[in-house]
Amino acid sequence: MKNHLVRVYSSKEHLDRSNQLAWKMAEIATDKTPVGPEVTEMVINRIIDNASVAIASLNRRPVASARAMAIAHPRPNGATVFGMPNTQKFSCEWATWANGTAVRELDYHDTFLAADYSHPGDSIPPLLAVAQQKESPSRAPSRNRYCL
């Protein structure tokens, strides 16, 4: 396992793109290292958990507001948004905002076993939205696309 130092940088500080957190997350997401069955099962569990809390929060005001913002940014071949038909696509940035809000609205207090600095709900919505917009195929044997 490789640990990454994460800290806040002032706008005056220059940070090379390859040292930015988003870049490091993208490197991890595109890593070709084989994933074992235990990891696959845990990833599936985390995605199910994210989808469950997102669906439960769909009618809450912050989620409806974030979704309305995303709906204002349609994009052909974009990403899906919880609560919208899968045939409608939106900019991955706005889909991330809406889906992340939906996931964290009811799961905001969950510290994910208190073992890590962040929660899977903070990473899964952006990774899925970017994968959808880039039309990245899944490595799951029975699926050919990521879907929310």
Per-residue model confidence as pLDDT tens digits over 38-83: 988 988 998 999 999 999 999 999 999 999 999 999 999 999 999 9
Q: SS3 for 79?
A: strand
Taking 80 as the threshold, does the pLDDT of residue 6 lie above it? no
Instruction: Tell me if 27 is assigned to some domain.
Output: no
Q: Is residue 19 part of a domain?
A: no
- Answer whether residue 42 is part of any domain: yes
Top-ranked range on mean pLDDT: pick from 11-15, 27-31, 47-51, 56-60: 56-60
Helix (H, G, I), strand (E, B) or coil at 72: coil
**What domain range includes position 77?**
38-133
Q: Which residue has the tokens 């204002």?
A: 72
Asked whether residue 29 is domain-assigned, the answer is no
Residue 117: its pLDDT value, please?
61
Position 13 in a domain: no
Instruction: Please say if the pLDDT value at position 148 is more than 50.
Output: no
- Rounded CA gap, 146 and 148, in Å? 7
pLDDT tens digits for 71-113?
999 999 999 999 999 999 999 999 999 999 999 998 766 655 5
pLDDT of residue 127: 86
Token digits of residue 68: 């309305």
Residue 30 lies in a domain: no
**Counted domains in the chain:** 1
Residue 34 has pLDDT above 50, yes or no: yes
If one counts every other C-beta atom within 10 angstroms of the C-beta of residue 108, the result is: 11
- Whole-model pTM: value is 0.73
Strands 90-90 and 74-79: antiparallel
Residue 59 lies in a domain: yes
pLDDT class of 147 with cuts at 50, 70, 90: very low
List Cα–Cα distances, 84 to 77, 96, 99, 136, in angstroms: 15, 14, 11, 21
Rg (CA), the chain: 16
Query: Which range, 8-12, 17-21, 75-79, has the best average confidence (pLDDT)?
Result: 75-79
- Would residue 141 count as lying in a domain? no
